[in-house]
Amino acid sequence: MEIKRRKTRQINVGGVTVGGGAPVRVQSMTNTETADADATIKQVRKLVKAGCELVRIGVTDKASVRALKKIIAVSSVPIIADVHFNPKLAIDSFNAGAAGVRINPGNISEENITQIAREAGKRGVAIRVGVNAGSLQKSLLKKYGHPTPEALAESALGAVRLIATAGCENIKVSVKASSAGATIDSYRLLSQQTDLPLHIGVTEAGPLLSGTVKSSVGLGILLAEGIGDTMRVSLTTDPVQEVMVAKEILSSLGLLAKIEIISCPTCARTETDLIELVEDVEEALAKDFWPPIKVAIMGCVVNGPGEAREADIGVACGKGRGVLFRFGKPVKNVEEDDYFEELMKELVTIKKNWRERI
């Protein structure tokens, strides 16, 4: 399937291009106490290592602004301040070096949005208008009865007009709801009404498993329709997992080239502990950057050789031993106890050659 991405305006967030044909950017948000600069820096580094390209940090008070400055000084990716209620914190965040702010029109007045936008415009930094179904303006709730897609879009575009009028053009927009269906409807509608880049996400998606499924369905459908320029998967867990899930969603749609494990679900024919082997390989791969290699780890000789042959590297496990495939060809038999070491050895060699090719 070839995805035709929607044409959006390109903006710049601290040196990272967003929209206008740029890759879909992966974002996440720290959940440490921002004022604890050391802990937050540590988490930002972990997120970046996992593949996060833009990190959002909640700025709630003066202490977090002070910490924000320290965090930005050492961060290798742009930092976006998440500000609610208080316009001064947004402006202080710009002064601390934030590449942008996220504001929610549901909890900040029009005058304050204009004030923030003027300052952002002067500095060339970005603003995300982040509308959330759970915190919509009362006037819109009264008008529409519920946080409908029309209400979310009206909220977002009202704020966009204020920001643009105040002289800030680096704007992206999000209209998140906590169900996949409402999120899809809202972004479909919004994408017909603006060519600004869209940050997509299902808000408060939930715990790791159900939140991953909900986000994959919601964001996957939008991305397949070409909607989405940056994305965040919101999960109630370590935010590193959010980044990993986001990358898997992008990779599954061919929007991100990354290492891919193809493994069978196991069945009565499986004669090795395939689940443990796949988990070990996945854990080892998560610790480092890998080029987009396809690894097949298969449980038997039914589909094993076929999948292993199609992958860059693969093993078709049999009883007590299996066959190792390299670029489509069987290269040797491997004893069951050596599957992991042999696969990792091959992967390291491919990675090394990949670097040399680059």
Cβ 322 to ligand SF4 shortest distance, Å:
11
Cβ 172 to ligand SF4 shortest distance, Å:
43
Cβ 288 to ligand SF4 shortest distance, Å:
27
Number of residues that bind ligand SF4 (CB under 6 A): 12
Residue type at 1? Answer: M
From 12, 26, 36, 23, select the one nearest 56 (Cα to Cα).
Answer: 26
Pick from 300, 308, 315, 334 the residue near ligand SF4 by CB under 6 A. 300
Give the span between the Cα atoms of 170 and 65, in whole angstroms.
22
Residue whose CB is less far from ligand SF4, 74 or 267:
267
**Contact status: 298 vs ligand SF4 (CB under 6 A):** yes
Residue whose CB is less far from ligand SF4, 31 or 303:
303
Cβ 231 to ligand SF4 shortest distance, Å:
32
Residue whose CB is less far from ligand SF4, 207 or 320:
320
How many CB atoms are closer than 10 A to CB 339? 23
Residue 207 CB contacts under 8 Å (≥ 6 apart), including other chains: 235, 236, 237
Give the span between the Cα atoms of 256 and 214, in whole angstroms.
20
Residue whose CB is less far from ligand SF4, 182 or 296:
296
Nearest residue to ligand SF4 by CB is 299
Is-contact 99 14, C-beta < 8 A? yes
Give the span between the Cα atoms of 240 and 252, in whole angstroms.
18
Residue whose CB is less far from ligand SF4, 51 or 330:
330
- Reduced to 3 states (helix: H, G, I; strand: E, B; else coil), residue 336 is helix
Q: Which segment (39-47, 120-128, 136-144, 296-304) binds ligand SF4 by CB under 6 A?
A: 296-304
Size of the chain in residues:
358
Give the span between the Cα atoms of 239 and 1, in whole angstroms.
30
Is-contact 314 296, C-beta < 8 A? yes
Q: Identify the helix (H) or strand (E) that includes residue 80.
A: strand 79-82
How many CB atoms are closer than 10 A to CB 95? 12
Cβ 303 to ligand SF4 shortest distance, Å:
4
Residue whose CB is less far from ligand SF4, 19 or 304:
304
Residue whose CB is less far from ligand SF4, 50 or 334:
334
Show the site string, 242-281: x = touches ligand SF4 by CB under 6 A, - = not: ----------------------xxxx-xx-----------
Cβ 268 to ligand SF4 shortest distance, Å:
7
Is-contact 16 25, C-beta < 8 A? yes
Cβ 346 to ligand SF4 shortest distance, Å:
20
Torsion sign, CA atoms 172, 30, 255, 219: negative
Parallel, antiparallel, or unpaired for β 54-58 and 25-29? parallel
Show the site string, 301-320: x = touches ligand SF4 by CB under 6 A, - = not: -xxx----------------
Residue whose CB is less far from ligand SF4, 269 or 345:
269
From 181, 232, 227, 179, select the one nearest 205 (Cα to Cα).
Answer: 179
Cβ 329 to ligand SF4 shortest distance, Å:
19
Between residue 69 and residue 128, which ones bind ligand SF4 under the rule CB under 6 A? none
Residue ranges that bind ligand SF4, judged by CB under 6 A: 264-267, 269-270, 298-300, 302-304
